[in-house]
Amino acid sequence: MITDHKNYPALIGAIAGDTIGSIYEFNNTKRTDFELLQPSMNYTDDSLMTLAVADWLLNRDPQDDDAQLLTNTMRYWANKYPCPMGGYGGGFHRWLLSPSPKPYNSWGNGSAMRVSAVGYAANTLEEALQLAETSAAITHNHPEGIKGAQATAAAIFMARTGNSKEEIRNYAEHHFGYNLHRTCEEIRPNYHFDESCQGTVPEAMVAFFDSQDFESAMRLAVSLGGDSDTLACITGGIAAAFYNDIPQGIVEYVANNLPTDLVTVVNHFCSQYGYKTIAQPSRHRGDRITPARITNLKPNEVFVFGSNLAGFHGGGAAHIAHAKFGAIWGQGVGMQGQSYAIPTMQGGVETIKPFVDQFIDYARQNPIYRFYVTRIGCGIAGFTDEEIAPLFREAVDVENICLPTEWWALLDR
Distance CA 236, CA 233 (A): 5
Q: Are residues 228 and 371 in the same domain?
A: no
User: Residue 18 in contact with residue 48, Cβ under 8 Å?
Assistant: no
pLDDT digits (tens, 9 = 90+) for 188-234: 999 999 999 999 999 999 999 999 999 999 999 999 999 999 999 99
**Are 241 and 151 in a shared domain?**
yes
For residues 223 and 92, state if they share a domain. yes
Instruction: Examine the domain organization and report whether 170 and 241 are in the same domain.
Output: yes
Residue 83 predicted with pLDDT over 90 = no
Q: Which of 252, 273, 294 is the last residue of a domain?
A: 273
**135 closest CA partner among 39, 148, 125, 126:** 148
Banded pLDDT at 105 (limits 50, 70, 90): very high
3-state secondary structure of 235: helix
Task: Confirm whether 227 is domain-assigned.
Answer: yes
Report whether pLDDT(385) > 70.
yes
Element (H, E) at 301: strand 301-307
Query: Which of 250, 273, 296 is the endpoint of a domain?
Result: 273
Range of the domain at 240: 12-273
- Section 259-288 average pLDDT: 83
Residue 239: CB atoms within 10 A of its CB come to 32
What is the rounded distance in angstroms from the CA atom of residue 338 to the CA atom of residue 321? 8
Minimum mean pLDDT among 83-97, 297-311, 373-387: which range? 83-97
- What count of other Cβ atoms lies within 10 Å of the Cβ of residue 145? 27
- According to DSSP, residue 44 is labeled B
Residue 28: inside a domain: yes
Q: Is residue 43 part of a domain?
A: yes
Whether residue 228 is found in the same domain as residue 291: no
Amino acid at residue number 144? E
Residue 3 included in any domain: no
Statement to judge: residues 338 and 394 lie in one domain: yes
Same domain? For 236 and 153 the reply is yes
Which tens digit of pLDDT belongs to each residue from 119-134? 999 999 999 999 999 9
**220 shares its domain with 299:** no
**Residue 198 shares a structural domain with residue 297:** no
Confidence check: pLDDT of 351 > 70: yes
Indicate whether 280 belongs to any domain: no
The angle, 0 to 180 degrees and rounded to 10, between the axes of the packed helices 228-243 and 165-176 is 130
| H helical segments located in 283-334 | 316-324
Reference 41, options 20, 25, 59; nearest CA is 20
- Exposed / middle / buried, residue 178 (Cβ in 10 Å: 0-12, 13-18, 19+): buried
Residue 5 lies in a domain: no
SS3 of residue 126 by DSSP: helix
Residue 321 lies in a domain: yes
- Residues 22, 60 share a domain: yes
CATH code, domain with 398 = 3.40.220
Please give the pLDDT value at position 413.
58
Q: What is the pLDDT of residue 1?
A: 34
How far apart are the two ends of the chain, measured CA to CA in Å?
60
Total domain count, the chain: 2
CATH number at residue 114: 1.10.4080.10
Asked whether residue 106 falls in the same domain as residue 170, the answer is yes
Both 314 and 260 in a single domain? Answer: no
In a domain, 278, yes or no: no
The pTM of the full predicted model, rounded to 2 decimals, is: 0.74
Q: Which residues pair with 294 in a beta bridge?
A: none
pLDDT of residue 176: 98
Last residue of a domain, one of 224, 249, 273: 273
Read off the pLDDT band of 281 (50, 70, 90). Answer: low
Confidence of residue 285 (pLDDT cuts 50, 70, 90): low
